[in-house]
Amino acid sequence: MSVRYAVLCVTPLAFVTAGCDPPALTPTGVRAVFGTQGLGPGAFVYPRAIAVGPDRGIYVVDKSARVQRFSPEGEFETLWNMPQRKAGKPVGIWVGPDGRVYVADTHYSRVIVYDRDGRELARFGQPGTGDGEFMLPTDVVVDADGFIYVSEYNGNDRITRWSPDYKFVSVVVAGKVAGQALARPAAMDIDAEQTLWVVDACNHRILRLDCSGRLLACFGEMGEGAGQMRYPYDISVTPQGTIMVCEYGNSRLQWFAMDGTPLGTWGSRGRKLGQLWAPWGAAVGSDGNICIVDSLNSRIQIVRP
């Protein structure tokens, strides 16, 4: 009898406790969702790249050539337009530790650097296949010494290194890597050991390179199973030291250990909460929250699986 009374007393307590700290929206760990289809503030037209700044601000660039900044909770803060958009829209964005925003202005073959409020600080690169030139740049990362790395594709699939004052330094990697020619290096990230992690999207694999381009690791193949990928379009090194890959073709995230051991996946194709449709990118904040560009659903999902 007394047990039943104890249960009765604990039940309301549990409700009160739950009310004080709202649980995740779904069992899959979605913390927040924001964005809809449109041209207004907070709306997207096929968003394609995302980055999280040191202040946990979320930066998204979409196919209307707008960069939008959101608070860590998904509140719209500001937006700015790319200087030109007729020839095409950017597919890559990176926020450096100093808060500078680097946008790979893909179809204009250049990288534009902004401050956090959208004031242009610099731009570099021009169309071409030579030194200091890009075909279609896809992503930018900056190492601890301030050197900038830019990946590009379409007849010139390679990664180049640029000085902190935006001067061309060298070609890090180009041509064949581990028996296969680079095919659309779609995104990069850099870890604490200053090694580059690259998604070789159309070869469906991950490459780990040192800053001079020496191959340290290569893993992955096309497929839907664990350790397999289909068009990985983004990559991030998580605070836990794992590698998170965003798969455009499989509409999911997948985690790997540094040695390539698959650790698990999250997401499936669909429109519901916790589902993704053709995601182009994902970024991890310092708080461990993962922000995913759910491209075809024109929204951003913040998750903590």
Using CB under 8 A as the binding criterion, the count of chain residues that bind other proteins stands at: 36
Stretch that binds other proteins, among 23-31, 162-170, 176-184, 281-289 (CB under 8 A): 176-184
Query: CB-hemisphere CA count at 13 Å for 37?
Result: 4
d(CA 159, CA 173): 5
Nearer Cβ to other proteins (15/261): 15
| Longest Cα separation, the chain | 83
Q: Does 176 participate in binding other proteins (rule CB under 8 A)?
A: no
Footprint of other proteins on residues 178-197 (CB under 8 A)?
Answer: 181, 183-184
Contact in structure between 229 and 246 (CB atoms under 8 Å) = no
Task: Pick the piece of the chain touching other proteins (CB under 8 A) from 12-20, 116-124, 169-177, 235-243.
Answer: 12-20
**From 38-46, 50-58, 110-118, 255-263, span contacting other proteins (CB under 8 A):** 38-46
Q: How far is the CB of 148 from other proteins (least distance, A)?
A: 23
Burial 266-305 (b: 16+ CB within 10 A, else e): bbeeeeeebbbbbbbbbbbbeeebbbbbbbbbbbbbbbee
Nearer to other proteins, 15 or 239 (CB): 15
Interface with other proteins includes 158 (CB under 8 A)?
Answer: no
Task: Kindly state whether residue 38 participates in binding other proteins, applying the rule CB under 8 A.
Answer: yes
Residue 67: other Cβ atoms inside 10 A: 22
Q: Is 127 in the site for other proteins (CB under 8 A)?
A: no
Residues of this chain, 54-93, that bind other proteins according to CB under 8 A:
86-88
- Two tokens at 101? 């925003």
Q: Applying CB under 8 A, which of residues 139, 152, 157, 189 lies at the interface with other proteins?
A: 157
**Cα–Cα distance, 257 to 262 (Å, whole number):** 6
Spatial distance between the Cα atoms of 85 and 107, rounded to a whole number of angstroms? 9
CA–CA distance, 284 with 304 (Å, rounded to integer): 10
Cα separations in angstroms, 70 against 58, 64, 203, 253 = 5, 17, 33, 22
Residues 230-289 that bind other proteins (CB under 8 A): 230-231, 248-249, 269, 277-278
- With CB under 8 A as the contact rule, which of the stretches 11-19, 54-62, 165-173, 188-196 interacts with other proteins? 11-19
C-beta of 237 vs 282, nearer to other proteins: 282
The answer for residues whose C-beta is within 8 angstroms of residue 22's C-beta and 6 or more apart is: none
Query: Does residue 40 belong to the site contacting other proteins (CB under 8 A)?
Result: yes
Q: Token pair 């990946």 is at which residue?
A: 151
Distance between CA atoms of residues 90 and 296, nearest Å: 16
Least spacing, CB of residue 275 vs other proteins, in Å = 12
Dihedral pair phi/psi, residue 96, rounded to 5°: -75, 170
User: Applying CB under 8 A, which residues contact other proteins?
Assistant: 1, 4, 8, 12, 15-16, 18-20, 38-41, 43, 86-88, 107, 136, 153-155, 157, 181, 183-184, 201-202, 230-231, 248-249, 269, 277-278, 296
